[in-house]
Structure 1
Amino acid sequence: MRITLKQLAVFEAVARSGQVARAAEMMNLSAPATSMALSELEKQLDARLFERIGNRLRLNSQGSLLLPLATEALQKVNQIEHLFCSPDAELSGTLNVSASTTIGNYLMAKSAVAFCQQHTSALVDLDIDNTQSVIKSVLEFRSEVGFIEGQCLDSRIKVEAWHKDKLLVFCHPAHPLAGKKVMPDALRGQFWVMREEGSGTRDYFISAANALDMQPVEKFSFSTPDAIKQAVKQGAGLAVLSELTLEKEISRKELAVIEVEGLTLSRQFYRIHHKSRNFTPLCEAYIHFCEKFHNLTA
């Protein structure tokens, strides 16, 4: 058996992208060459590695078994190359990062651009989605590192405290409770504009609200902070979001904060990666850069 690094790299690219054509772009190969390398690998292993679902390829059980091994082998080769490179060599390549909505839009997008401006041969491919989607991306090896707002209990993933954040309850400035400090029962039965299922912000707030018997009534649900803020501006109800997303609107008095007695909404952000995957030098450099760029506190 003569498995080549090219075959493993093509396999990993197809597993990440779900398409031969997209994998070919990632590898700077032609689609026929990419397809041939994948076919040769399956022939060498005498096993199919993917199932075709519509126009996408999805890992089957055999492919899922191979992926962490292929990733580890490619990382070892990458480490060897970097070990014998000049210490001053420029960081290069593509780093796949996933971040949940608040972190991605208000922290990681800025640091990704700044990092790439400093390291012009590097590209940070940032995917922004909700917490559960980020976890899935890391589990499927599509992202080398993820940043999430919610909990991750999957034993295959290493979770590290990364940064603290504060959530704020807010409303339309004309709301009777705008700018006031109230007891939890004052919000009982109020309509709320919530984040979608799978959102770390949603899960954290509902858990804290239920502990105080606030019984929030969901009137609307949206997947982006901007949509939620717009709904509240139209008088759709109360909402809760990270203070990172509200600074502009509160300073302009377009929205107003409600302080709830006993409702502690200081939460932890987390950095996650697959336990079987070691950080590449590019990923380590980006992580250190983010800590300095954002002056983060765990």
Structure 2
Amino acid sequence: MRITLKQLAIFEAVARSGQVARAAEMMNLSAPATSMALAELEKQLEARLFERVGNRLRLNAQGSLLLPLATEAIHKVEQIEHLFSSPEAELSGTLNVAASSTIGNYLLAKSAVAFCQQYTSSLVDLNINNTQAVINAVLEFSAEVGFIEGQCLDSRIKVEAWHKDKLLVFCHPAHPLAGQRVEPKALTGMSWVMREAGSGTRDYFLNAANALDMQPQEKFSFSTPDAIKQAVKLGAGLAVLSELTLEKELSRKELAVIDVTGLTLERQFYRIRHKSRNPTALCEAFDHFCQRFLNIDH
């Protein structure tokens, strides 16, 4: 059985008007074509749908059973057409985004909320993890777009500069070097609280520190900035994190910065996409929104 939407629309027009000729006008069809479509529908259903009373057609019991179902089907299709033809259609649905820790917690979480408040038919599903996990999510197509703090050298991934960040070396306020500018050798052999393996913050810092022969000694390793800050507050050692994560503690003088001569810790954040996947309109809208919301310059 292959009932078409056109047949149902013709049936409904005949049922509403009571005449094939008037239904044909409503459907912008010829009377013979309308009559043929109605006859074909009755043949497929193996049931008569109308009784002729004078020059009019009246629904019989079978036709009365079909009419509300046909009307519902037509309305459903009209809703689908309206949904996908409206300007808001492309900005509806769920966008899967993956972001490394600092970007996700301090930049994209608030961006996602603001975006969804403006585009109420959209949902940004933000998965926060370390850089390598974000790269994997994009490679496995579980995230349409990713934002990372470290490098990505995978040839399947398109990498674009997105935003800049600055890392700060910090310590307990009572540390002898708190608030001072020191030479790299002054930190040689000191204990550090580090981010976990796979973290963009960790990789970037270690590359810069090793270039200055600082030889940081890892004493503890944690996967979140909050855990690292708590450890430093307890005197566990020095640490390095994005200034985005330290603003509150520094203003309260709960932590202190150490300025290391020659240690340049300004880094680039990156937006990554799979090369074989074209961005959806929703993804592009979110990207443009973030640029404005976070005042990102390109």
Tell me the amino acid that sits aligned with residue 243 of structure 1: E
Aligned residues of 2:90 and 2:282 also touching (Cα < 8 A): no
Aligned to 2:120: 120
Aligned residues of 2:94 and 2:123 also touching (Cα < 8 A): yes
Aligned to 1:286: 286
Q: State the Cα distance separating 1:88 from its structure 2 match.
A: 5.2
Aligned residues of 1:250 and 1:256 also touching (Cα < 8 A): yes
Tell me the amino acid that sits aligned with residue 214 of structure 1: M
Aligned to 1:146: 146
Aligned to 2:95: 95
In structure 2, runs of 5+ residues without a counterpart are 1-80
Which runs of structure 1 show a deviation greater than 6 angstroms over 4 or more consecutive aligned residues?
none
Aligned to 1:266: 266
Aligned to 1:226: 226
Q: State the Cα distance separating 1:170 from its structure 2 match.
A: 0.1
Q: Deviations over 1:200-256 (max 9, x none)?
A: 000000000000000000000000000000000000000000000000000000000
Q: 1:1-298, aligned counterparts within 5 Å?
A: 85-87=85-87, 89=89, 91-298=91-298
Q: State the Cα distance separating 1:87 from its structure 2 match.
A: 3.4
Aligned residues of 1:138 and 1:144 also touching (Cα < 8 A): yes
SS at match of 1:235: coil
Aligned residues of 2:196 and 2:221 also touching (Cα < 8 A): yes
Q: CA–CA distance in 2 between the matches of 1:220 and 1:252?
A: 24
Q: CA–CA distance in 2 between the matches of 1:294 and 1:255?
A: 26
Q: Deviations over 1:68-115 (max 9, x none)?
A: xxxxxxxxxxxxx99x72335572100000000000000000000110
Q: CA–CA distance in 1 between the matches of 2:272 and 2:222?
A: 25
Cα pair distance change 1:107/1:210, threshold 3 Å: same
Q: CA–CA distance in 1 between the matches of 2:85 and 2:187?
A: 61
Q: State the Cα distance separating 1:281 from its structure 2 match.
A: 0.5
Matched length: 218
Q: CA–CA distance in 2 between the matches of 1:179 and 1:297?
A: 31
Q: State the Cα distance separating 1:296 from its structure 2 match.
A: 1.2
Q: CA–CA distance in 1 between the matches of 2:205 and 2:129?
A: 18
SS at match of 2:85: coil
- Rg larger in structure: 2
TM-score (norm 2): 0.71
Q: CA–CA distance in 2 between the matches of 1:103 and 1:149?
A: 7
Q: Deviations over 1:24-51 (max 9, x none)?
A: xxxxxxxxxxxxxxxxxxxxxxxxxxxx
Q: CA RMSD in A?
A: 1.6
Aligned residues of 1:90 and 1:121 also touching (Cα < 8 A): no
Aligned residues of 1:103 and 1:147 also touching (Cα < 8 A): yes
Q: CA–CA distance in 1 between the matches of 2:92 and 2:151?
A: 32
Tell me the amino acid that sits aligned with residue 211 of structure 2: A
Q: CA–CA distance in 2 between the matches of 1:294 and 1:275?
A: 26
Aligned residues of 2:132 and 2:199 also touching (Cα < 8 A): yes
Tell me the amino acid that sits aligned with residue 265 of structure 1: L
Aligned residues of 1:146 and 1:271 also touching (Cα < 8 A): yes
In structure 1, runs of 5+ residues without a counterpart are 1-80
Q: CA–CA distance in 2 between the matches of 1:85 and 1:104?
A: 33
SS at match of 2:91: coil
Aligned to 1:8: none
Same amino acid, percent of matched pairs:
81
Q: CA–CA distance in 1 between the matches of 2:246 and 2:116?
A: 27
